[in-house]
Amino acid sequence: MKTYVITGGTDGIGAALARELFSRGDHAVIIGTDPRKGRRLQDEAASTPGDLTFLQADLSLVAATRHTLDRLTDQHPVIDGVVLCARFMHSRRTETEEGLEHNFALFYLSRLLLSYGLLGPLRNADRPVIVNVAGPGHDTPITWDDLQSTRHYDLVGAMFMTGRLNDLLGRSFAERHGDGPVRYVLFHPGTTATSYAGKVDPATAAYLRQQRARAKPATAVVPPLLRLLDDPPASPLTAFQLATELDVRSELFSAEDARRLSRLTDDLLARLR
């Protein structure tokens, strides 16, 4: 039985993946905020050969993410894969109680903390892999002097820019740990009918309803994700849109930009100790 940690595993793509993993006999450790969703999946897992553990955590908070990391590393000495899916959309710029822009905190910072924080148990696995499910390869410019969108915020722009930060996180991780066993994969699922968790205005809600009606189901994203977990790519960093590989040698995944972002993020995190 292999162990996979899935953030945002209570709904959407993460939940579809968790179902497949426990149905085939693996252990899915899912993280989300809603205990009812966690219990429902635990009930489903009870009649399967696998296992499901639900951890309740608000990963938009650095303190809660650090606490969750402590629980994960205490309870799971070996982790075979980490799949990062947690995401929450805000039409209006929102700050967490730690004073960080919510999208930046959840969609980027928690993924960085989990990627580096789970290195220990990942290194104990045979072929460990981190799959960061976001939107790799988008060419939205990065507003370097305003990563948390204080001057101008719109939902789509903030999400795309934070997606780019995840691309650079992948590059930094590979630069630092590429000679180790953990492979880093950036994965774009394409438009998929999920819960689209968020607090959005009526126009955005209507748009998301239309998208959901036309989109493929979350189960359609599971086979390409499983392939990456079962047979991780050989290169330290790769990116995929479903099964199609993207070129990570492009400027969008620049090592120099990745180092610049790491410096800014390290400074920020040092202030949140």
Secondary structure, 3-state, 146-168: CCCCCCCCCHHHHHHHHHHHHHH
155 belongs to the binding site for ligand NAP (CB under 6 A): no
CB of 179 to ligand NAP, least distance (A): 28
Site string for ligand NAP, 29-58 (x = CB under 6 A): --xxxx--x-------------------xx
Please answer whether residues 238 and 247 qualify as being in contact, where contact means their C-beta atoms are separated by less than 8 angstroms: no
Residues 59-98 that bind ligand NAP (CB under 6 A): 59-60, 85-88
Nearest to 134 by CA among 96, 154, 161: 161
Q: Which of 2, 4, 11, 117 binds ligand NAP (CB under 6 A)?
A: 11
Could you tell me if 108 and 99 are in contact, meaning their C-beta atoms sit under 8 angstroms apart? no
Judged by CB, which is closer to ligand NAP: 125, or 215?
A: 215
Name the packing angle between helices 255-271 and 155-177 (round to 10°): 100
- Closest to ligand NAP by CB, 92 or 180: 92
Q: How far apart are CA 19 and CA 52, in angstroms?
A: 9
Phi, psi angle pair for 183, to nearest 5°: -90, 145
* Nearest CB to ligand NAP, comparing residues 66 and 259: 66
The only residue of 133, 147, 169, 252 in contact with ligand NAP, by rule CB under 6 A: 133
Contact 41, 32 (CB under 8 A): no
Nearest to 8 by CA among 129, 136, 111, 135: 111
What is the chain's length? Answer: 273
**Of 17-25, 69-77, 145-153, 195-203, which part binds ligand NAP (CB under 6 A)?**
195-203
Kindly state the helix (H) or strand (E) to which residue 240 belongs, with its residue range. strand 237-241
User: Is 8 a residue that touches ligand NAP (CB under 6 A)?
Assistant: yes
**Paired strand residues for 184:** 130, 237
Give SS3 for 83. Answer: strand
Residue 192 CA to chain centroid, in angstroms?
16
Reduced to 3 states (helix: H, G, I; strand: E, B; else coil), residue 230 is: helix
Q: Which residue is nearest to ligand NAP (CB)?
A: 12
Q: Does 117 bind ligand NAP (CB under 6 A)?
A: no
Q: Which of 5, 14, 122, 147 binds ligand NAP (CB under 6 A)?
A: 14
Which of residues 103, 115, 172, 194 is near ligand NAP by CB under 6 A? 194
Residue 183 or 188 having the CB closest to ligand NAP: 188
Counting contacts by CB under 6 A, is residue 186 touching ligand NAP? no
| Nearer residue to ligand NAP within complex by CB, 14 or 137 | 14
CB of 156 to ligand NAP, least distance (A): 12
Distance CA 25, CA 11 (A): 20
195 is an interface residue for ligand NAP by CB under 6 A = yes
The site for ligand NAP (CB under 6 A) is made up of: 8, 10-14, 31-34, 37, 57-60, 85-88, 106, 133-135, 189, 191-192, 194-197, 215
